[in-house]
Structure 1
Amino acid sequence: MHRSTHPLPAAPPFDLKHSLNFLNGFSPTLGEQMTDTALLKATRVGGQTVAFRVTQHGPPDAPKLEAELLSEKALSDLNTQQLLERLRFFLSLDDDPAALREKAAHDPAFLKVLDARHGYHHVKFLTPFENAVWAILSQRTPLNVARSAKRKLTEAFGGSLEVDSQTLSAFPEAADLPVDAAVLDAVLHNPRKSKALAAVVAGFQQVSDEWLKTAPDADIRAWLLGLYGIGEWSASFIMLRGLGRLSGALDVSDDSVLMREMLRAAEPIYGTLTPDELRQKGATYGELEGLWAHMLRSYGE
């Protein structure tokens, strides 16, 4: 087993405990990582399965994070860098919590949420592709059924690694999956979802990570909505939780699933609101509206 250790600087305050607590209740990845006092999880990078262990030393206001990478074959410098960047993005280590607090100066109700989550940074999906696949699998489907389908895809096309007597499964990258819906349906046994998944796989195989990071929000949203099976809710979900695009989180219809979920999440903080009243509150957060929305939703989970 090849091991290497790397520093993971984080913008303070950062408290890994909050990230672990969030993952413990995050339905799409339940049971896919170890979250005792550190984060132990596996992923696929460049066709290889790699495990990582993230630990924190030092208090939230002076955090010192470290990533231990474990793999059967030594990682190239490029793949090491790609994985470290993925971890930084996954745990939002570069986000500045002070920016959201400054925006919330006018919003005492939301300041209580921030106080309760001191040191929490937005936890995303490990990759935007995984987020997009989950959006397909979970549409109009009980969560336990969606998780079972995701597990079958991981077993068929992903990888696994034994670390500390634990078998860690790694969800596949887009390059690991076929674009043939019939092949996918042999695993999923759901023709509609298999067709949608094939479209998502093909879509992600055709765009670069750099484009996903740098393209304008409008272009990303249009691309997502052009993929079979990706609707308004799924596009907003992937924009925020897979790509870290934080603006325009409430640019959805009044009767959308996302709006209904947001109104339920906001009620304990703000009381009963109409969709327009919720949009008005979100608009005051500008480019951080999505982070505000995520914090509201995660607060009650």
Structure 2
Amino acid sequence: MDAARIESRGPFSLEASARFVAGFGPAGRPDAATGPLRLGFVAERTWEPTAVRVEQEPSGVVTVVGPDDAKPSPAVVAQVGRMLSLDVDGSGLDEVGSRDPVVADLLERMPGLRPVCFGSPYEAAVWALLSNRVRVTRAAAVRRRIVAGHGTTVAIDGTGIAVFPAPDVLHRVAGDLGLPEVKVPRLRAVADAARDGVLDGETLRSRPAAESLAALREIPGIGPFSAELILIRGAGHPDLLPVAEQRLHTEMTDRYGTADPTTVAEMWRPYRSRVSFLLRADRERRTGEMGGGPGHPACVAG
């Protein structure tokens, strides 16, 4: 076996990530809770269907192996790191908890859980369109139908992992998915944006957040909520408070007794995205309001 290695700077639990994947209904991956975590996704830029096996050593180091026990490319390893939020140094989060009892409580009850993101901003953007103005369960069913009918199955460890179709495939079949007429050109616009690099994760992360959000909102059908979802849960931006996420703001008001989430979130720098994720995950655990397992607005790969 020729494995790539990712150093998990700060506390990280791959087991917690796997439970998250297994409990998120739209992913259709209840198997993720047992054995090593296997992820399927389209590799950014090349759009090749890809699958990896991810394991955590006792030392905390995370290993990533491709099909036939081959070592995946550095680009694929980087994408996996972003999906599991391993590309962010989490060693300072305890200090945030020391000045915010709410955060301290979340860290104690969900040790090592980091945001689990979509395979790419492209997949996040597709989900944003599919789930807009429809129930999560219905959007999830459509996503599973797209994967089953037009995706690719990649075998790893003798297990087939279904991978979402590449942008050119989605563009071609968008009109055959039985979606509302208004969503067809929007899906094609997302496919074009991915192909043209507008949805490239590294690019989105490298610019100021406001600039990337503005660029995302230029894509037809992508509004403020969807743009934040793509940047935070697709590109894995580590330090951005979602201002359009009303359920998060409701949770913050309940916890902190204030209607000013921006001021509260200043205490969380440079981990505003992660603390927001933990708050929403905890709210979903208590309420089940999104009907998709723990922590709705995060997302998972294939």
TM-score w.r.t. structure 1 length? 0.83
Whether 1:107 aligns to 2:100 is yes
Alignment partner of 2:73: what SS? helix
Shift of the alpha carbon at 1:56? 1.3
Q: Distance in 2 between matches of 1:215 and 1:106?
A: 29
Q: Distance in 2 between matches of 1:100 and 1:263?
A: 21
Contact 1:122-1:294 within 8 A present in 2 as well: yes
Q: Distance in 2 between matches of 1:87 and 1:125?
A: 10
Q: Distance in 2 between matches of 1:205 and 1:250?
A: 26
Letter in 1 for 2:51: A
Q: Distance in 2 between matches of 1:32 and 1:231?
A: 31
Please give the per-residue CA displacement for 1:239-293, whole angstroms capped at 9, x wherever unaligned.
21111224442434xxxxx12x11343366x25542x2x2221122234222221
Of stretches 133-142 and 49-58 in structure 1, the one that deviates more from structure 2 is 49-58
Q: Distance in 1 between matches of 2:81 and 2:90?
A: 15
Unmatched segments (≥5 aa) in structure 1: 253-257
- Where does residue 252 of structure 2 map in the other structure? 266
Q: Distance in 1 between matches of 2:229 and 2:179?
A: 25
Shift of the alpha carbon at 1:70? 0.6
Whether 1:44 aligns to 2:3 is no
Contact 1:136-1:229 within 8 A present in 2 as well: yes
Please give the per-residue CA displacement for 1:155-202, whole angstroms capped at 9, x wherever unaligned.
343210244553310012334432x6xx41212332112121111111
Contact 1:19-1:121 within 8 A present in 2 as well: yes
Contact 1:32-1:168 within 8 A present in 2 as well: no
Count of equivalent residues: 280
Unmatched segments (≥5 aa) in structure 2: 286-302
Q: Distance in 2 between matches of 1:242 and 1:206?
A: 17
Alignment partner of 2:51: what SS? strand
Shift of the alpha carbon at 1:125? 1.1
- Where does residue 232 of structure 1 map in the other structure? 224
Letter in 1 for 2:146: L
Q: Distance in 1 between matches of 2:205 and 2:30?
A: 26
- Where does residue 255 of structure 1 map in the other structure? none
Q: Distance in 2 between matches of 1:280 and 1:186?
A: 46
Alignment partner of 1:52: what SS? strand
Contact 1:135-1:234 within 8 A present in 2 as well: yes
Q: Cα gap change, 1:34/1:118 in structure 2, threshold over 3 Å: closer, same or farther? A: closer
Whether 1:196 aligns to 2:186 is yes
Shift of the alpha carbon at 1:16? 0.8
Q: Distance in 2 between matches of 1:148 and 1:190?
A: 15
Alignment partner of 1:147: what SS? helix
Letter in 1 for 2:248: M
Q: Cα gap change, 1:193/1:83 in structure 2, threshold over 3 Å: closer, same or farther? A: same
Shift of the alpha carbon at 1:131? 0.6
Q: Distance in 2 between matches of 1:106 and 1:148?
A: 42
Q: Cα gap change, 1:96/1:47 in structure 2, threshold over 3 Å: closer, same or farther? A: closer
Whether 1:21 aligns to 2:24 is no
Alignment partner of 1:177: what SS? helix
Shift of the alpha carbon at 1:34? 2.7
Q: Distance in 2 between matches of 1:84 and 1:273?
A: 41
Alignment partner of 1:120: what SS? coil
Which protein, 1 or 2, shows the higher relative CO under an 8 Å CA cutoff with sep ≥ 6?
A: 2
Q: 2:112 aligns with which of 105, 112, 119?
A: 119
Give the greater-gyration-radius structure (CA).
1
Q: Distance in 2 between matches of 1:236 and 1:188?
A: 27
Letter in 1 for 2:249: L
Contact 1:40-1:53 within 8 A present in 2 as well: yes
Q: Distance in 2 between matches of 1:176 and 1:121?
A: 31
Q: 1:219 aligns with which of 200, 211, 227?
A: 211
Matches within 5 A, 1:27-66: 27-31=25-29, 34-45=32-43, 46-58=46-58, 62-66=59-63
Shift of the alpha carbon at 1:33? 5.9
Of stretches 149-158 and 30-39 in structure 1, the one that deviates more from structure 2 is 30-39
Of stretches 206-215 and 85-94 in structure 1, the one that deviates more from structure 2 is 206-215
Letter in 2 for 1:185: G
Q: Distance in 2 between matches of 1:32 and 1:238?
A: 24
Q: Distance in 1 between matches of 2:191 and 2:67?
A: 27
- Where does residue 297 of structure 1 map in the other structure? 280
Q: Distance in 1 between matches of 2:100 and 2:26?
A: 31
**Runs of 4+ deviating beyond 4 Å:** none
Q: Cα gap change, 1:249/1:24 in structure 2, threshold over 3 Å: closer, same or farther? A: same
Q: Cα gap change, 1:81/1:248 in structure 2, threshold over 3 Å: closer, same or farther? A: closer
- Where does residue 265 of structure 2 map in the other structure? 282
Q: Distance in 1 between matches of 2:31 and 2:48?
A: 18
Q: Distance in 2 between matches of 1:130 and 1:223?
A: 17
Q: Distance in 2 between matches of 1:87 and 1:229?
A: 27
Alignment partner of 2:271: what SS? helix
